[in-house]
Amino acid sequence: MTLPLKVLSLVAGLSLAFNSSATPVHSVEGNRYAIDQSKLLELSAEIKTELENNIKNIRKPGERAVALHQLMFGPDGWQIRYDFDANLSAQQAWQLRRGNCLSLALLYVASARYVGLKAQFQRVQTPAQWEQRSDYYLVPGHVNVAVSTHRQRIYIEFLGTFYDFEVDPSQGRRISDKQAFADYYNNIAMALMDQKKWPQARSTMQTAIELEPDSDMYWSNLGVLEKFSGNSQAAEKAYRTALKINKRNYSALTNLYVLLSEQQRKQEAKEISNKVQKYSRKNPFRLAKLAGKALVNEQYDVALSSIKKAIKLRPEHAEFHYLQARIYYRSGAATQGFDALQRAAKLAEGQDKQRYEQKVAALAPSF
């Protein structure tokens, strides 16, 4: 018997593609960047006292695991909340009452072990969720926690509010503390890269690689870091190292293709172009970009085909429907364009929603 617990969601490792980066890191006073790995699972005396008073004396391990979950996230407990950008240690997550999925896992594992539970980190396979930033794409990863007792295995899940799909928490791959720590340093390095703090980012990324040298994801991310910092030679070496470890790392392959193309190494780029194009077809933002280019060139059939594929992958993304509306209008299909514009207005938020609704109101009398 297993007892999956649905809680929150966030990022574990960040797999990056197309000249990628990551989100800024929240920091604690006096600890602006990565902290020593020996402190990632450290708990204060205050936390330990609360665990002793509320959790430690519960006799049955399964009930103890559930009670810990309720203490962390329940309305009568610590009320820890999900924060996509918060790459924190266990202590910091408790102190700031927030964390991403890795931070939440660190806090749960540290607390669980203190109260006598056997808790381990898991990396969980999830469908690719491309997240667009200003000039790159980010593919979040995910971790959860498995608690083993003599009668059952309980999965502590931190997924639900960020993603729009379900996962089977039992399908996670157990990872060591060292591998979880490597994910933490990878996240911090990517955040530092986003802030253009190149020496700190490079040093932190090297720490992640030292902890898990056979991770193609980390090598690919190092390549992105080197490319952004202007070191193309080191970037190429990192991408190729990633591909030696895993020839199907399409993030590394795509970034290598971009690098070779920029350097006018046409023959080398051509040799991998088919694989890159196949991968790009799975990226809705890439498809939308192709649709936009086709629209500019008045290739309406190509534009519609591309944007429809993007919408199929990310139907909730309002900008895709707005682009579809523009394509329909330009091609003379005004009714379909108005329908697409209405969908965009319904899905949009903030200023985009107001802008789309104004367009709908202006066009409505014609339909």
Can you list the alpha helix ranges (DSSP code H) found in 263-332? 266-280, 284-296, 300-313, 318-330
Give the three-class secondary structure for 143.
strand
CATH 3.10.620 for the 14-195 domain, yes or no: yes
Q: Which segments of the chain have a pLDDT < 70?
A: 1-33, 126-140, 159-171, 280
Q: Which amino acid is at 321?
A: H
Q: In this predicted structure, what is the pLDDT of residue 26?
A: 33
What does the alpha-carbon distance between residue 67 and residue 118 come to, in Å, rounded to a whole number? 15
The residue written with tokens 């430690």 in the block is: 56
Q: For the chain, percent helix, then strand, then coil, each to nearest 5? A: 55, 10, 35
Task: Enter the tokens of residue 59.
Answer: 């006799």
Give residue limits of the domains in the chain: 14-195, 213-280, 284-366
What does the alpha-carbon distance between residue 110 and residue 103 come to, in Å, rounded to a whole number? 11
For the whole model, what pTM was predicted?
0.72
- 284-366 folds as 1.25.40
Q: In this predicted structure, what is the pLDDT of residue 285?
A: 78
Q: In this predicted structure, what is the pLDDT of residue 112?
A: 97
Q: In this predicted structure, what is the pLDDT of residue 18?
A: 33
Q: Which amino acid is at 198?
A: W
Give the three-class secondary structure for 119.
strand
Q: In this predicted structure, what is the pLDDT of residue 27?
A: 35
What does the alpha-carbon distance between residue 10 and residue 274 come to, in Å, rounded to a whole number? 32
> Is 280 within 8 Å of 254 (Cβ atoms)?
yes
What does the alpha-carbon distance between residue 250 and residue 344 come to, in Å, rounded to a whole number? 31
CATH code, residues 213-280: 1.25.40.10
> Is 227 within 8 Å of 255 (Cβ atoms)?
yes
> Is 100 within 8 Å of 82 (Cβ atoms)?
yes
Q: In this predicted structure, what is the pLDDT of residue 86?
A: 87
Q: Given its phi and psi angles, is residue 6 left (phi above 0), alpha (psi -120 to 50 degrees) or beta?
A: beta
pLDDT tens-place string over residues 22-61:
322 333 322 356 778 989 999 999 999 999 999 999 999 9
Q: In this predicted structure, what is the pLDDT of residue 257?
A: 84
Same fold, 14-195 and 213-280: no
Q: In this predicted structure, what is the pLDDT of residue 137?
A: 61
Tell me the angle at which helices 198-211 and 216-228 cross, rounded to the nearest 10 degrees. Answer: 170
Q: In this predicted structure, what is the pLDDT of residue 6?
A: 26
Task: Enter the tokens of residue 107.
Answer: 């806090």
Q: Which amino acid is at 284?
A: P
Q: In this predicted structure, what is the pLDDT of residue 248?
A: 82
